[in-house]
């Protein structure tokens, strides 16, 4: 029985994946991970390799040569309406279902407030080495910025995305008509 298990595991394949941080500097990690691993395991490997906490929401998106967002793989499935399309969860989706051939691409978004964007590309598929523990970082280029280095307060949001519902209702810079709070009132 042990011979069968060793025979099977010696032919398991490993995905060599490059994860590039969207940055003005060259910052990337190459990770080798078994093709049977889940996207959740890749998620954990990415935030660990870049020194992030892993406490924020994240999603993977199937992508193409232009890095467009396609099918989403979510960290955790939120409650959806019955008529909405079901989504894949990271813990239920093995890597080999979406990363099948060198050149396959995914986008990884981490922390939806700070919008850390990573470009994920399958570089090659190799045979599993029997004495190696996967996943493992095999190449490390550049120092990642601190996870909180993107200030949420200083981010400029695109006004064309429909999030400007209060834009015309109130001028927050206009002090006319403003009366300071009077805390001298007694009950």
Model confidence pLDDT, tens digit, residues 111-138? 999 999 999 999 999 999 989 999 999 9
The residue assigned the tokens 């700070």 is 114
Structural domain that includes position 91: 2-151
User: pTM score, two decimals?
Assistant: 0.73
Q: How many domains does the chain have?
A: 1
Please report whether residue 142 resides in a domain.
yes
Q: pLDDT class for 11, splitting at 50, 70, 90?
A: low
In a domain, 73, yes or no: yes
Residue 54 lies in a domain: yes
Asked whether residue 15 is domain-assigned, the answer is yes
For residue 70, the domain's CATH number is: 3.10.290.30
Using alpha carbons, list the distances in angstroms from residue 91 to 7, 46, 72, 136: 27, 15, 13, 19
Residue 47's SS3 state is helix
Closest among 12, 46, 51, 11 to 30, alpha carbons compared: 46
Q: Does residue 172 belong to any structural domain of this protein?
A: no
Strand segments, DSSP code E, in 85-172 are: 88-89, 105-110, 116-127, 136-141
Residue 176 lies in a domain: no
Q: Would residue 64 count as lying in a domain?
A: yes
For residue range 49-88, what is the model confidence (pLDDT) as tens digits? 999 998 999 999 999 999 999 999 999 866 555 666 678 9
In a domain, 98, yes or no: yes
């Amino acid at each position: 029985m042990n011979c069968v298990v060793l025979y099977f595991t010696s032919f398991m394949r490993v995905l060599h994946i490059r994860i590039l941080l969207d940055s003005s500097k060259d910052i990337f990690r190459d990770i080798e991970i078994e093709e049977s691993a889940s996207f959740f395991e890749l998620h954990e490997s990415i935030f660990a390799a870049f020194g992030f906490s892993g406490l924020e929401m994240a999603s993977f998106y199937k992508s193409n040569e232009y890095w467009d967002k396609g099918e989403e793989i979510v960290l955790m499935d939120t409650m959806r309406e019955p008529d909405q399309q079901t989504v894949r969860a990271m813990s239920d989706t093995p890597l080999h279902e979406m990363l099948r051939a060198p050149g396959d691409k995914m986008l990884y978004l981490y922390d939806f407030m700070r919008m850390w964007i990573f470009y994920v590309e399958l570089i090659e598929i190799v045979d599993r080495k029997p004495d190696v523990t996967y996943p493992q970082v095999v190449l490390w280029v550049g120092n990642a910025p601190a996870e909180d280095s993107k200030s949420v307060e200083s981010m400029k949001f695109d006004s064309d995305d429909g999030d400007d519902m209060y834009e015309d209702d109130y001028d927050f810079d206009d002090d006319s008509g403003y009366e300071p709070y009077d805390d001298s009132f007694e009950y």
